Structure formats: structure tokens, C-alpha cells
Amino acid sequence: MDKLEQYRVFIQVAEMSSFIKAAHALELPRASVSAAIQQLETTLGTRLLHRTTRQVRPTADGLQLLERARALLAEAEDIDQLFQAGQRKVSGRLKVDVPSRIARRLVAPALPGFLRRYPRLQVALGSTDRAIDLVQEGVDCAVRFGTLQDSSLVVRPLGQVALINCASPDYLAEHGVPAQPDDLARGHWAVGYASASNGRELAWELPPSAQSLQVPSRVLVNNAESYIACCAAGLGLIQIPRFDVQHLLDRGQLVEVLPGFRAAAMPVSLVYPHRRQRSRRLIAFIEWFEALMQPHLDR
């Protein structure tokens, strides 16, 4: 294994705090990862990682090398691809994570065209409605909806999506059509949505003061697919990005309610680690996804 590959292994282990996780992300045997670190420490004459039974973390020298090695690998990749033309620049494996609804309705149908454009690229598409640790799970890029917590990730805002309130025709026939937010507390039900961080049911937000309103629920879900399915089955009202249910609205399977009392639009962002390590495959995905998402943003 050459020196650049040893640096790549070291960065992965340091960022993921685990030899096993790094080996999985790099698709290498664990023994090869351990050997690369040992060789690097021997060559440099210093210990780079503190190893315990529970954790691996960089030493002071390791932290210094980590910053320099990241810059070195980014520069090496730019040099490798400097004289390549067009789509041949984009190759390798890109691991992305997107909400399940986005994966099914937007990304998966459009992926064939993306991969025809970049035939040497492999996309590992993860879809989950929980926030994951990109570094720990070896993810290159993720799509996030809502206000983001402060982190070390690079955030690329894309815009906002409109939120609407809706229900099924059967539900409205049984419970009536709410005319004001106050009506929701009188004889109406919501489909509850559990927070990915703590499992608690999320409250509704309604104007004019963005007040939080706890609409009673009889069913609680933890992903967008179940949320929409329960609403279509007549189990209650939901607040949802319009693009998620536009096809159901068009077919009359769902109906918008309280159109004058929509929640504030929801931000959409791309997040990824380390601005200086943006590979050409990551740049290609970011540009492609921005164009894919553009028609669904609130203008």
C-alpha cells in the first residue's frame, strides 16, 4: 500500500473512531487497515492514534497529520483528474443518504439518466428519515429537511418547500372540514409523527404566530411513507410538503384543508463533510440534485 493510500486509511480511521468501521467503508480487510496504520506510524516515527477497547482517537501528532493529509489527498485527486475530459472525471463510489420519500419519488426515478451521464460512477443510496452521523457511517453527502443543528458539516441551502395541511375525502366526510385552527381541537384527529431524535410526537405549527398545536392522534408513525398512507386511509390530518402528495391531490385521494393557515415553508439543504475534500463525483451529484429539486421548491 503506497503512502497516499496509508493517509487515506488513517483519515478514515480517525474520522470514524474505529478500525472496523473504516475497513467496512474502505472495503478492505481489517488486518490491512491495521497494517497501514502501523506502517505509517513506523515511517513517521510517532504514534498517530490512541487505541482503547472502546475508542480510537487521534493523538496530538495525529490531529496535525489529519488536517495536512486531508488537504494532500484533495490536491492529489485534483491532479489525477486534471487532464481527464468530460464525464471520465466522475468515477468511483458515492454514498448518499436522502429521506425515504425523496429516494422513492425523486431520486430513484431520475438515477438512470444520472448514471448514463456518468457510467463509471456507482451510487450507494441510503434512505432514512432519521438524522445519521455522516462521518461515522461513511456517507459523502445527505439531503436534509428542516432547520439544521450546528455541526462541523458543510451546509449548502437549496431553498424551501411549501407545507400544506391535508386529509382524505373519507375523513372529511366523517369529521367535517376544519375552517379555523381552533377547530382541530374539537372532533379532529391528526396522524402523529414521532421525532427522529427523541421519539416524541411532533406538534403542528400554524400561523399567524407560528403557534405549536398538539392535535390529538390515534396512530403514531416514524416515516413519511406511513404518514401519508395513514392519512389516505382516513386516520387523520397531516402537515406535509406539497410535492410529497401532489399526485394524490391531483387524483382526489387527498384534499388540502386550512389553505389560509399553512405552516412556514421548510428549508432543504445538502450537507457533506469537509469543504476541502469535495470530490468530482460529489460535485456532480450536488449539481444534479439541485436541478432535480428545483421544480419542487417554493418560489
- Mind listing the pLDDT tens digit for each residue in 112-165? 999 999 888 889 999 877 777 787 777 889 999 888 776 678 889 999 999 999
The pLDDT value recorded for residue 258 is 92
The pLDDT value recorded for residue 66 is 86
Neighbours of 113 (CB within 10 A): 10
Q: How many whole angstroms separate alpha carbon 71 and alpha carbon 69?
A: 5
Cell of 35: 497494517
**Which stretch of DSSP H or E encloses residue 192?**
strand 190-193
The pLDDT value recorded for residue 84 is 56
Q: How many whole angstroms separate alpha carbon 205 and alpha carbon 261?
A: 9
The pLDDT value recorded for residue 210 is 57
Q: Are strands 190-193 and 204-206 parallel, antiparallel or unpaired?
A: unpaired
The pLDDT value recorded for residue 140 is 87
For the chain, domains (ranges, CATH) are 3-81 (1.10.10.10), 87-161+267-296 (3.40.190.10), 163-264 (3.40.190.10)
Q: Classify each residue of 26-45 as buried b or exposed e, where b means 16 or more C-beta atoms within 10 Å of its C-beta.
A: bebeeeebbebbeebbeeee
The pLDDT value recorded for residue 80 is 64
Angstrom distances, CA of residue 180 to CA of 162, 169, 208, 261: 19, 18, 11, 8
Q: Are strands 266-272 and 141-145 parallel, antiparallel or unpaired?
A: antiparallel
The pLDDT value recorded for residue 208 is 66
Q: pLDDT under 70 in the chain at which residues?
A: 77-89, 150-151, 208-211, 274-278
Taking the CA of residue 63 as centre, how many other CA atoms within 13 Å lie in the half-sphere pointing to its CB? Answer: 4
The pLDDT value recorded for residue 294 is 92
The pLDDT value recorded for residue 83 is 59
Q: How many whole angstroms separate alpha carbon 84 and alpha carbon 79?
A: 10
